[in-house]
Amino acid sequence: MTTALAPGADLARNPKVRQWLADHRPVLLIDNEWVPAKSGKTFETINPTNGQVLSIAAEADRADVDEAVKAAGRAFTEGPWSKMGPGEKARILRTFAGLIEANVDELAELEALDNGMTLATAKAFISVAVESLYYFAGAAQQIFGQTAPSAPTNFNYVLREPIGVVGAITPWNAPICANIWKIAPILAAGNTMVLKPAEQTPLTALRLGELAIEAGLPAGVLNIVTGFGPGAGSAIAEHPQIDKVTFTGSVETGRSILHASTGNLKRITLELGGKSPNIVFPDADMSSAVATSLAGFATISGQVCVAGTRLFVQQDVKDEFVENLSTFAAGIKVGDPLDPETTMGPLASKEQFDRVTGYLDVGRAEGASVAVGGEVIGDQGYFVQPTVFDGVRNDMRIAQEEIFGPVVSVIPFSDEYDAVLQGNDTTYGLAAAVWTRDVSRAHTVARRIKAGTVWINTYLELDPTMPFGGYKQSGIGREFGANWYQHYTEEKSVFLKL
Ligand code: NAI
Ligand code: MG
């Protein structure tokens, strides 16, 4: 049964998801209360499989962000969060992780309905999110300060303290993962936060908020404001009582957040886009290189910041590689993400569909040839075929601009020097891969490529133990890794005269 406020409940197959959508009202999470936007404004979130309205979300603006920041500020300065020890915080984060695991089917379907990724992909990303949450729960108890060497007349030490109120602005391509990758380290380091999920995919963030409350997260620690970039997003970026902003999204928005941060000199972490080189040498394990390169540009319909969308293949083996890759790509079953047979769902939004199909035209106009794909599928929803462009030069737009769809540009190279030169010829530097059985070549290329992550004979692997972030215009700062806490804490030097 649907009401005007639950237009898309019937799209759900899981009865719990249907009920959740039927019951859902457009609300924000502020101070552990579910409240409408002060303006009463709402917006629609669309199901990308059929282009119809899935649900209605509250449209936060500056006034709502203000309330959220006040709540986060209180939880930080007065407690309870700042008064809890790291062990107690860790226990809540572990309970939260357990609740996500217990609700994985429901969360995966909600993610698939809002974003368009397949159920299997959603579950895989949720398991990555859960692992990260457990990792940071443990890490909450590992943030050590230092005792400094000092004269016998002094006892000097360094404290590591949380920064304060953190604003987190996230994208729509892998919402649960993106949101947990902000929530987990921010809270583990002892901060409180205001999360703004992307307007295209607000639903699973709200469900995560419910689970966080169920896990015992105290009021004000995690506030969730759904809304648009120019409204809620820029209010966070500019807010004088927000101490740090961490953002994942486009370079353009990253730049405007950096500008906005100058008002109160916020700490900033930016995880931006990429146009990552995936370099295949002739001595590589070709069957593995082909299959993994396909996943490298087609996972979540290619809407992945680290996607390997510039595929450099040594010229002697390039034609055979393109042939095999095209055969594999043609075998991808594009369709309804809730259908278990489907291996690729639609693009997440109309805007993204227009952008990707626009680049299919650009590629053809630039003289690249379509080895496979290149067309839209059906007349409803935002489906495009996985597409391999052959005959691409590295200076073409389809080789330089982030398309954020299942589209790869194959570019030939002559030797190792040429591969590195072309691979680095981009304004981005998020990730790269090299395929070879030659150990020296693998490590040499890994060192020469200017990217925050380099994969050797693999792709798309991420681990909370490994730093993640970009060189050049792919971002500022790193998340995860052994030094993760440096990005969410301040150092304080304490001098004591004995
Ligand atoms: P976007 O960067 O504009 O949106 C990401 C988030 O930023 C959303 O939550 C949005 O509401 C917010 N935002 C937008 N403008 C803002 C502002 N002025 N101040 C504060 N927050 C703001 O990305 P968009 O427009 O959705 O996608 C455009 C392109 O960006 C994509 O086609 C893709 O190339 C790239 N992108 C890269 C992502 C990544 O993971 N690195 C994720 C999403 C998009
Ligand atoms: Mg935008």
Confirm whether 271 is a catalytic residue.
yes
Distance from the alpha carbon of residue 249 to the mean position of ligand 2, in angstroms = 8
Q: Whose CA is nearest to atom 40 of ligand 1?
A: 305
Q: How confident is the model at residue 5 (pLDDT cuts 50, 70, 90)?
A: low
What phi and psi values does residue 165 have, to the nearest 5 degrees? -95, 125
Q: What is the mean pLDDT of residues 158-166?
A: 98
Answer whether 43 contacts ligand 1 (Cβ < 6 A).
Answer: no
Let me know the angle formed at the C-alpha of 55 by 54 and 57, rounded to the nearest 5 degrees. Answer: 145
With beta carbons less than 8 A apart as the criterion, state whether 156 and 494 touch.
Answer: yes
Catalytic residue of the set 109, 111, 238, 271: 271
Pocket residue to mutate for ligand 1, from 114, 182, 238, 253, most atoms within 8 A of Cβ: 253
230-242 confidence digits (pLDDT tens): 999 999 999 999 9
Confirm whether 238 is a catalytic residue.
no
Q: What is the mean pLDDT of residues 10-20?
A: 96
* DSSP reduced 3-state for 51: coil
Which residues are within 8 A (CB) of 4 and not within 5 positions of it... i.e. 6 or more apart? Answer: none
Whether 343 has a pLDDT exceeding 70, the answer reads yes
Q: Which two tokens stand for residue 318?
A: 């390039």
Q: Whose CA is nearest to atom 11 of ligand 1?
A: 229
What is this structure's pTM? Answer: 0.98
417-446 confidence digits (pLDDT tens): 999 999 999 999 999 999 999 999 999 999
Spatial distance between the Cα atoms of 442 and 280, rounded to a whole number of angstroms: 11
**What's residue 1's pLDDT?**
42
**What's residue 7's pLDDT?**
85
Answer whether 237 contacts ligand 1 (Cβ < 6 A).
Answer: yes
Q: Whose CA is nearest to atom 32 of ligand 1?
A: 404
Q: Whose CA is nearest to atom 10 of ligand 1?
A: 229
Answer whether 307 contacts ligand 1 (Cβ < 6 A).
Answer: no
**What's residue 6's pLDDT?**
80
Q: What is the mean pLDDT of residues 144-149?
A: 97
Catalytic residue of the set 67, 109, 177, 305: 305
Using the Cα atoms of residue 33, residue 37, residue 40 and residue 42 in order, give the sign of their dihedral: negative
Q: What is the mean pLDDT of residues 397-403?
A: 98
**What's residue 448's pLDDT?**
98
Q: How confident is the model at residue 348 (pLDDT cuts 50, 70, 90)?
A: very high
41-96 confidence digits (pLDDT tens): 999 999 999 999 999 999 999 999 999 999 999 999 998 999 999 999 999 999 99
Whether 183 has a pLDDT exceeding 70, the answer reads yes
Q: Which residue has the tokens 């001098």?
A: 495
What's the one-letter identity of residue 161?
Answer: E
289-300 confidence digits (pLDDT tens): 999 999 999 999
What phi and psi values does residue 125 have, to the nearest 5 degrees? -70, -35
CA separation, residue 116 to residues 111, 174, 386, 448 (Å): 7, 10, 15, 37
Distance from the alpha carbon of residue 168 to the mean position of ligand 2, in angstroms = 16
Spatial distance between the Cα atoms of 360 and 373, rounded to a whole number of angstroms: 10
**Average of per-residue pLDDT values in the chain:** 97
**What's residue 2's pLDDT?**
43
